Amino acid sequence: MNDSQVKQQIQQMVSFIKQEADDKSNEIRVKAEEDFNIRKLSAVESAREKIRAEYEKKVKQIDINRKIAKSTEQNAARLEVLKARDNILQETMDGASKKLSAIPAADPAMYKSIINALVMQGLVVLADADVVVRCRAADIELVDALLPSVTEEYVATSGSPVTVNLDRNTFLADSCTGGVVLLSRGGTIVVENTFESRLEIAYQQNLPKIRGMMFGNP
């Protein structure tokens, strides 16, 4: 093989190696571009997903805040309605109390009948042989005059003997507008039959009916 042929073979080998290098370089470049594009798309998609998640989170929070605000507003309105109703009921209670407090002076005959009924009811509830009746200082004469007949009526009705004594030393509070308190067994058992206590009992027992009449059923 002469020099010319050797040079030609060497040139061919160099060209082959260069071609392989170029092909390999091009392959690496293409692969690098593909990897870059994949990472780029992944990064873009990740960013989009993050933005979407943040947006959905904000929308959800706005919806929650709106519901909370609506609930708070509804509760506030409901409380205002309940407060207004309670005020009306209290005014009704005060009006009834005022009418009751006027009875002793305005209608003595009716008040006498009421005291008679309250003492009798207290005796029936206590069902004891020894009872003390306590009243207002202003009613001491009225109650004292009524006790014999009430006692007789109770004994005749129940068939049980009873001794009823009027407490002449301790009176009901000045704030009491009428009625009596009955005590037995050394004051350990008490029946509150004042106007205030009876009105409160009647009010509590009939509160659902009163609300229905005044405000209708919910």
Domain positions in the chain are 1-106, 107-215
Which sign does the torsion angle of CA 152, 158, 163, 166 carry?
A: negative
Mean pLDDT of 25-37: 80
Query: Residue 207: which region, alpha, beta or left (left: phi > 0; alpha: psi -120 to 50)?
Result: alpha
Mean pLDDT of 114-142: 97
Q: Is the pTM of this model over 0.75?
A: no
Residue with tokens 């109703």: 85
Q: How confident is the model over 138-179, as pLDDT tens digits?
A: 999 999 999 999 999 999 999 999 999 999 999 999 999 999
Strands 163-166 and 189-194: unpaired
The residue among 39 and 110 whose pLDDT is bigger is 110
- Beta-carbon contacts of residue 211 (< 8 Å; ≥ 6 apart): 85, 89
Mean pLDDT of 55-72: 88
On average, the pLDDT of the chain sits at 88
Range of weakest confidence among 63-67, 133-137, 156-160: 63-67
The residue among 111 and 14 whose pLDDT is bigger is 111
In angstroms and rounded to an integer, the radius of gyration of the C-alpha atoms of the chain is 49
The predicted pLDDT at position 93 comes to: 75
189 strand-pairing partners: 184
Q: Which CATH number fits domain 107-215: 3.30.2320.30, 3.20.20.140, 3.30.360.10, 3.10.450.50?
A: 3.30.2320.30
The predicted pLDDT at position 133 comes to: 98
Range of weakest confidence among 20-24, 172-176, 195-199: 20-24
Please say whether the beta carbons of 195 and 179 come within 8 A: yes
Look at residue 66 and tell me whether its pLDDT is greater than 80: yes
Query: Residue 185: which region, alpha, beta or left (left: phi > 0; alpha: psi -120 to 50)?
Result: left
> CA-to-CA distance for 177 and 156, rounded, in angstroms?
30
Please say whether the beta carbons of 97 and 178 come within 8 A: no
The predicted pLDDT at position 167 comes to: 97
The predicted pLDDT at position 212 comes to: 77
The predicted pLDDT at position 211 comes to: 77
The predicted pLDDT at position 1 comes to: 66
Look at residue 213 and tell me whether its pLDDT is greater than 80: no
Residue with tokens 């092909």: 23
